[in-house]
Chains A and B, each alone.
Chain A
Amino acid sequence: MKFGIVVFPGSNCDHDAYHAVKHVLGQDAEFVWHKDTDLKRADALVLPGGFSYGDYLRTGAIARFSPIMNAVRAFAERGGPVLGVCNGFQILLEAGLIPGAMLRNRSVKFQCEHVHVRVDQTDTPFTAACRKGEVLRLPIAHGEGNYFAPPDVIARLEANGQIVFRYTNAAGVVTDEANPNGSVAAIAGLCSERRNVVGLMPHPERACESALGSADGLRVFESAVESLKSGTLVARA
């Protein structure tokens, strides 16, 4: 399986994602520069974390207009699996591939810590290898991860089962203390209506080896491999 990792000016988790899928998972991976228009025949795309365009204006607001985003959108519309991590998630929100927006963390601080997230949906290409209700321990590192959408949108996301990851305590229970940024409905990650586009604020690519404190993030990338094998993934760039 081949992962395409999109590199924007200011991306800084691109090499982490490359390492996780290539060296830990043993899959093929290739960087795709944001000015490119070709996705290099990738089976799945990763929009990595970082500070694209210095977070100027709003996080992800300028990166969404990068030339590669037309190809990313077309790939997503064909059903191709796209994973947005942290700034990658923010770019997906700005691009409208996933509904909602990010506000400054309610603490008004850059939160850098390990958190627990519960996998609430397993019918996405990035959670297919997880158990429903499984709790993953993953790191976060963001200043704008306070997810917001109006109540009618939240109701629709709940009804459609688009809330894929929620911040919980280690036992998998949603509590206010376990919510690191004030996100509505403890939302840590979402999928598109078609379920092939997934975004989350925590960093699975930084938690793929036990030496890094947790290997739980590997489940996210293993899910993509499993989805491809089972034939759930059909689109190719």
Chain B
Amino acid sequence: MRARVFVTLKQSVFDPQGKTIADALHSLGYAGVEDVRQGKYFELDLATEEAAHARTLAAEVADKLLANPVIESYRIEVD
């Protein structure tokens, strides 16, 4: 199965890169883009056919390595 892990900075954490990208878009004329938050995206190929197991495994590696719980949170999709 494949798990997709989306890691993003928590809302309370300032994102200097996202702010810079938003500023760049504004200078390109995209005033309608109100804010940008940058994150990370991981695709995990997992040796299991059980969605529940895949989700558990993806959460375990996200907790252990992919995300830093001090500043980041994550969301998992499995298919």
Contact = CB atoms under 8 A, between A and B. Distances in A.
A148 B71 contact: yes
Interface string B1-28: 0000000010011111100100000000
- Interface residue range, chain A: 20 to 34
Interface of B: 9, 12-17, 20, 65-66, 68, 70-71
B70 A104 contact: no
A159 interface: no
A49 to B, nearest CB: 20
A100 B70 contact: yes
B68 A106 contact: no
A103 B14 CA distance: 8
Contacts of B12: 150
A232 interface: no
Nearest to B20: A108
A106 B65 contact: no
Given A61-B65, A150-B12, A108 B70 contact: no
Given A103-B71, A150-B12, A108 B17 contact: yes
Contact of B16 (A65, A100, A103): A103
**3 pairs of A and B residues whose beta carbons are closest in the complex:** A101-B70, A101-B71, A104-B16
15 contacts: A57-B65, A57-B66, A58-B68, A61-B65, A61-B68, A93-B70, A99-B70, A101-B70, A103-B13, A103-B14, A104-B16, A104-B17, A106-B16, A148-B14, A150-B70
B13 A182 contact: no
Among B12, B16, B65, B71, the most chain A Cβ lie within 10 Å of the Cβ of B16
A119 B31 CA distance: 45
A94 to B, nearest CB: 7
A153 to B, nearest CB: 8
B13 A94 contact: no
A105 B20 CA distance: 12
A13 B7 CA distance: 31
A148 B20 contact: no
B75 to A, nearest CB: 17
Nearest to A58: B68
B71 A94 contact: no
A93 B66 CA distance: 15
Nearest to B40: A57
A52 interface: no
A94 B68 CA distance: 8
Nearest to A153: B70
A104 to B, nearest CB: 5
A178 B47 CA distance: 51
